[in-house]
Structure 1
Amino acid sequence: MAIGSALSVGLIGLKAFIIQIQAFISPGLPYFSIIGLPDTSLSEARERVKSACQASGFSWPQTRVTVNMSPASMPKRGASHDLAIAASVLCAAGVVPNDALEDTVVLGEVNLDGTVLPINGLLPIMLHAVDRGVRRIIVPAGNEEEAELVPGLGVSTVRHVGELIELLGGQAKYRIADERQPTADTAEETPLTGGIGDMGEVIGQEQTKWAMQVAAAGRHHLLMTGPPGSGKTMLASRMPSIMCPLTAQEQLEVASVRSLCGTLPHYGITDMPPFEAPHHTASTASLVGGGSGIAMPGSITRAHRGILFMDEAPEFSARALQTLREPLESGYVALSRTKGTTYYPASFQLVMAANPCPCGYAYGTGERCVCRERDRVRYFARLSGPILDRIDIQVEALPVSHITDGGGEHGRSSREMQMEVMQARQTAQERFRGQGWSCNAQASGPWMRANTSAKALDLADKALTSGRLSLRGVDRALRLAWTLADLAGRTSPGTDEMLQGIALRARMS
């Protein structure tokens, strides 16, 4: 009996788990089977692995070859296990020593000619391997830059199955036809994910900029309404430039999501918060994630620790908008499919932009508006009450009347605004050190009511009694008041901050 073993790592969402792969070469008619809940792409590894091994000079056994992937109860997917399957068969056949793969994770997709292709999701896999005490990992050469991001792990790269055989102490005969190294697939970049502009480039809109600074300081959700051409999209695309830089842990979280999506080579490890701007025709699955078998991340997961910008928000389908409700509260999304439930992080800041009506000109006197009253009501009613109730700041972006209204050399730069945001966030972190919160948006209602002055609370109570705010709206107005106090350098909010918080919260009421 000949058994060879190798280690690989599987992913269910961003949750990784070690897979032990055992190959058994036994007497019988020639047959190659893979068991252990493989999906379709993994079942097809039989032909890829067999051809790749033969392209390395290995004579495939003319007997029965069985590969088991354990734990058998966990679903396995994708072609990233090809190289580990090949390694286990080569070990069982005696081509490489039995102890050559001890405590070593092997990852990579193989081509029919034996070349090893890069994979997606390597970063979360390597972080899990480090936590499990794995000493060495073998990855495709196309993933070398990503593999270098994780310290404390011995990394070897291979371009061909023949190189793997030689690395493990065996002998191979192979030829690499093309010296150019493949790279992992990257998603096409959307226009709004390019270079982040500066707030100083935006003419006018000082009130809206101030509201965005408050949103960035406290991680509050924001809705901007205004006619076309008033600068809503331009402002939203620059919001990451005034937000706090990502911490080291947050950078790894964002990079892990991008690695799984195949976009990490484009971004690298960066402290700039991500910015996602799905089109208003986006489906529900593209927002929250989807796919058969195990669901893949959607826009709200790609916006984790950053901004999810929904331009023309009332044009999104009602179903797509309703899917935001639970992630806004919980900070994660759960996607259930036939093969299990996948959890993805979704702690994002929601920024919405909307016209005041279908034609966009129902502002001021409204003399340019050509919409009927019922059309205006129906248009904005698509943003349902439960969604609007979760938006902390609602601000109106009116048209700029003069091109000299700020901007250029006179507007505040993103760096100036960011420094104030960082100072305010640091104040909040020191205040909440014993609570486990990092910003005002996470503070609980009981804590805020217990630590806010009676005069400020009285203003909030009057807004609740008059129906201007809901009970949830009161808590969100309190959070805004605390953020305003942090920006003003005050230890707690007074009546001025409370009035401003109510005004920002209830502007659309």
Structure 2
Amino acid sequence: MPVKTFGSAVYGIEAITITIEVNISGGTKYHIVGLPDKAVSESLLRIESAITNSGYRMPRQKIVVNLAPADIRKEGSSYDLAIAIGILAESEQIESSFLHKYLILGEISLSGNILPIKGALPIAIQARKEQFKGIIIPKANAREAAIVNDLEIYGVESLSEVIEFFNGQKTPKRVIVDTRDEFYHNINNYESNFSDVKGQENIKRALEIAAAGGHNVVLIGPPGAGKTMLAKRLPSILPPLNLHEALETTKIHSVAGKLAASDSLLTVRPFRSPHHTISDVALVGGGGNPQPGEISLAHNGVLFLDELPEFKRTVLEVMRQPLEERRVTISRARFTIDYPASFMLIASMNPCPCGFYNHPERECVCAPGVVQKYLSKVSGPLLDRIDLHVEVTPVNFSELASDRKAEASEVIRERVIKARQVQAERFAESHDVYCNAQMTSTSVREICKINAAGQVLLKKAMERLGLSARAYDRILKVARTIADLDSSEDIKIEHLAEAIHYRSLDRDGWAG
């Protein structure tokens, strides 16, 4: 009778339990069946060495390992430990009576050490759904898996520890994490603060509006004006993650293998800043063995694209659909995977190649037409999806030398949270809309109503700036957010005027 152990495979951000059957019979060859990839096929060579170096015997007979369901492709090295335990149990070197109660996961080195895997959190969530008693997992992944309660999590460092556990000789120390305590203890641990920023009050105001409504932002200004410094502090004024968002974000980082051994739960909003040489697949996700891209790693957080025009145009264009739909669908011949991608986009750019076009003090040295060519690297449809275009001017010496303490992130964050609470009540009956930036065109017509004076102002702005229908909606959404920050039920003309002001790249002065 073949011995069964249980492992797990991760597809997208969900896990599927894999049954590993091991049968030993007369013969001399080793076989793994059930659509294994190269890493899985090579596992028996690693396992043979690990078993021998751990002081046990590798059977010199025909070994057939079946990974079920057989029609799902098995990838990676996380099945090593479960296969090794199955072989030892089938050859009666360890007790097999309670193997069925545990998921067993881990890559094995030639010496028998257990190496980390990816996707421990979604695997643990699925194990609890299927009522497994516990998980045997590499020690480096134990805290990550332990945030799922009602499961026994044992972090192991060697094959010998697992054998001793199943033989009843020695039980590893159980890893226990108080999820709520961990979450609430670290929820405000941001290294950067807006109090560090001298001057730039108008830019802070724009970022406060962006945070309050979940709007995308592009910062345009010369080198050294503080664009990157401001962008890095945006997460510190966003509302804290709730526990559901923290779990969802942690799952994505777990699948991508981005969690450190000391981490169990991501408690602060992610901030991702990919280099401008990134490929489109690395940005949106995919590949032969699909993995989440940077936009999914920024889920529930901020994606910062520094020097926006330097990114390849194809890379920026593939981001247009995820910006609207807040998810990425990776399709292959045999399967389709969805990755969530609800993020705030904040981009920065110089106004021209030399960086000093429209600078108040320094002269631009770019040739005629170069500014327009530089700005045209960022397509109009992408800019339409960015709600706020904000000019960043250099900070003067008196502000830099001032001892006056700037407003702290905590103070700004309170106003943002208050505005988000208003939006939460407004969209309480909507399942996919949580903030003003996510409103549909239908919702904009219903919620963002303006008076006759506002209609006249917006009409003039539309005609003068040549704004698209999408830009019209963006202005109304931003105006609604400004009104929420002002605790106003109606969108007043001053709210609308401020929202129109945040369309810098649509103005005549940016034509080059």
Deviates more, 1:109-118 or 1:96-105: 96-105
Deviates more, 1:112-121 or 1:387-396: 112-121
SS at match of 1:263: coil
Distance 1:324 1:7 in 2: 38
What is the match of residue 24 of structure 2? 25
What is the match of residue 213 of structure 1? 208
1:161 alignment partner, one of 155, 159, 162: 159
1:377 alignment partner, one of 365, 372, 381: 372
Deviates more, 1:451-460 or 1:388-397: 451-460
- Mapping for residues 314-329 of structure 1, pairs under 5 Å: 314-329=309-324
What is the match of residue 124 of structure 1? 122
Residue 160 of structure 1 deviates from its aligned partner by 2.0
1:358 alignment partner, one of 343, 353, 357: 353
8 Å contact from structure 1 (residues 116, 158) kept in 2: yes
* Cα shift readout 1:380-429 (whole Å, capped 9, x = no counterpart): 10010110010000010111223327975332111111111011101110
Distance 1:357 1:148 in 2: 50
Residue 32 of structure 1 deviates from its aligned partner by 1.0
Unaligned 5+ segments in structure 1 are 173-193
> Which amino acid is 2:34 matched to?
G
> Which amino acid is 2:439 matched to?
A
What is the match of residue 286 of structure 1? 282
- Mapping for residues 250-269 of structure 1, pairs under 5 Å: 250-265=245-260, 268-269=264-265
- Mapping for residues 391-430 of structure 1, pairs under 5 Å: 391-404=386-399, 409-430=404-425
Q: RMSD of the TM alignment (CA)?
A: 2.2
8 Å contact from structure 2 (residues 353, 374) kept in 1: yes
What is the match of residue 10 of structure 2? 11
What is the match of residue 179 of structure 2? none
SS at match of 2:51: helix
* Cα shift readout 1:196-250 (whole Å, capped 9, x = no counterpart): 3211211111111100000001110001101111111110011111111111111
8 Å contact from structure 1 (residues 476, 505) kept in 2: no
> Which amino acid is 1:228 matched to?
P
> Which amino acid is 1:39 matched to?
D
What is the match of residue 40 of structure 1? 38
Distance 1:75 1:62 in 2: 28
Distance 2:248 2:90 in 1: 38
What is the match of residue 174 of structure 2? none
> Which amino acid is 2:397 matched to?
H
> Which amino acid is 2:498 matched to?
Q
- TM-score, normalising length from structure 2? 0.89
Residue 325 of structure 1 deviates from its aligned partner by 0.6
* Cα shift readout 1:77-126 (whole Å, capped 9, x = no counterpart): 11111111112222222233443112321111111122212222211211
SS at match of 2:268: coil
Distance 1:406 1:13 in 2: 50
> Which amino acid is 2:81 matched to?
L
1:300/1:212 Cα in 2 relative to 1: closer, same or farther (>3 Å)?
Answer: same
> Which amino acid is 1:60 matched to?
M
Residue 328 of structure 1 deviates from its aligned partner by 0.5
Distance 1:327 1:342 in 2: 14
Residue 505 of structure 1 deviates from its aligned partner by 3.7
What is the match of residue 225 of structure 2? 230
Distance 2:419 2:482 in 1: 9
- Mapping for residues 107-118 of structure 1, pairs under 5 Å: 107-118=105-116
Deviates more, 1:142-151 or 1:370-379: 142-151
1:84 alignment partner, one of 82, 85, 89: 82
Residue 57 of structure 1 deviates from its aligned partner by 3.3
Residue 481 of structure 1 deviates from its aligned partner by 1.3
- TM-score, normalising length from structure 1? 0.90
Deviates more, 1:403-412 or 1:316-325: 403-412
8 Å contact from structure 2 (residues 103, 134) kept in 1: yes
Q: How many residues align?
A: 485
8 Å contact from structure 2 (residues 390, 504) kept in 1: no
Distance 1:458 1:8 in 2: 64
Distance 2:207 2:476 in 1: 17
1:256/1:485 Cα in 2 relative to 1: closer, same or farther (>3 Å)?
Answer: same
Identity of aligned residues (%): 38
8 Å contact from structure 2 (residues 391, 504) kept in 1: no
Residue 262 of structure 1 deviates from its aligned partner by 2.5
Asked whether 1:440 is paired with 2:439, we answer no
Deviates more, 1:207-216 or 1:472-481: 472-481
1:366/1:383 Cα in 2 relative to 1: closer, same or farther (>3 Å)?
Answer: farther
> Which amino acid is 2:395 matched to?
V
Deviates more, 1:333-342 or 1:112-121: 333-342
What is the match of residue 177 of structure 1? none
Unaligned 5+ segments in structure 2 are 171-188, 508-512
SS at match of 1:99: coil
Distance 1:423 1:492 in 2: 17
Distance 1:198 1:379 in 2: 32
What is the match of residue 500 of structure 1? 498
